[in-house]
């Protein structure tokens, strides 16, 4: 019977060598995967930077409708096309496909230069905001016992506000037994409004609410 061969450390070294090789292969694969993922991420980031289109904007590939009504850049109606064909038409013209009426029975898309379109829309919005004046409502408080000096002071404030384009709420407050003589407050308010003269128009006539009688005047359009 042949003698059995003694177990040497060679087998263990061979196993260790295979393990090291496998680990090296696994490490290289993991490194390759990481590099591939990183490059893809960088590519997407670069593309997104230059496209500069928000995910919720219905432009090009963001349009998910199966079929759309396509309008050419010059306003000519091309007709109903599939999403793919509509985008291709825009790409062939080196332009963008923009959905301008997503809620229509057949969503309407227009072929245009989206970058230029968005720039013009932003420009219009800035112009509207620039020309839009915020009108505030100032307030003047009178009383049935107010003296002439105080009336004149408050009148100057009211005229100044009207000149600035603001509205003015003029009110007369009644206290205690003053409610028994509302006609006094009515005359004070009427005289005050008359003194504002040609500088204003009465937007809301005098009205009694609780213990306050008030009217709202606005600048007269020039």
Q: Do residues 150 and 179 touch, judged by C-beta distance below 8 A? A: no
Q: Do residues 50 and 88 touch, judged by C-beta distance below 8 A? A: no
Angle at alpha carbon of residue 139, lines to 138 and 145, rounded to 5°: 155
Element spanning 122, H or E: helix 114-131
* Cα–Cα distance measured from residue 57 to residue 70, given in angstroms and rounded to the nearest whole number: 17
Element spanning 77, H or E: strand 77-82
pTM of this structure: 0.43
Walk me through the domains of the chain, giving residue ranges and CATH numbers: 60-131 (3.10.20.80), 137-219 (3.30.110.10)
Q: List the chain pLDDT tens, one digit each, 222 residues.
A: 444 444 444 455 555 555 545 455 555 554 444 434 443 434 333 333 333 444 457 888 888 889 999 999 888 899 999 989 999 999 998 999 999 888 989 999 999 998 888 898 888 888 887 777 677 889 999 999 999 999 999 999 999 998 888 899 999 999 888 888 889 989 999 999 988 888 888 889 888 888 889 999 998 876
């Amino acid at each position: 019977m042949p003698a059995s061969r003694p177990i040497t450390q060679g087998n263990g070294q061979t196993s260790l060598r295979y393990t090291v090789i496998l680990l090296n292969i696994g490490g290289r694969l993991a490194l390759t995967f990481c590099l591939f993922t990183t490059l893809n991420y960088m590519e997407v980031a670069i593309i997104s930077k230059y496209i500069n289109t928000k995910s919720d904007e219905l432009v090009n590939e963001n349009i998910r409708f199966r079929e759309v009504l396509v309008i050419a850049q010059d306003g000519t109606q091309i007709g109903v096309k599939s999403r793919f064909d509509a985008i291709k038409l825009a790409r062939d013209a080196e332009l963008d496909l923009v959905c301008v009426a997503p809620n229509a029975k057949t969503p309407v898309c227009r072929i245009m230069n989206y970058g230029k379109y968005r720039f013009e829309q932003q420009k219009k919005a800035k112009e509207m905001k620039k020309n839009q004046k915020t009108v505030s409502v100032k307030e003047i408080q009178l009383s049935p016992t107010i003296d002439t000096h105080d009336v004149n002071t408050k009148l100057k404030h009211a005229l100044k506000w009207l000149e600035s384009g603001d509205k003015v709420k003029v009110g007369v407050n009644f206290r205690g037994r003053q409610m028994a003589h509302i006609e006094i407050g009515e005359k004070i308010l009427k005289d005050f409004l008359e003194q504002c003269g040609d500088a204003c128009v009465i937007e809301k006539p005098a009205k009694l609410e609780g213990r306050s009688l008030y009217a709202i005047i606005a600048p007269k359009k020039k």
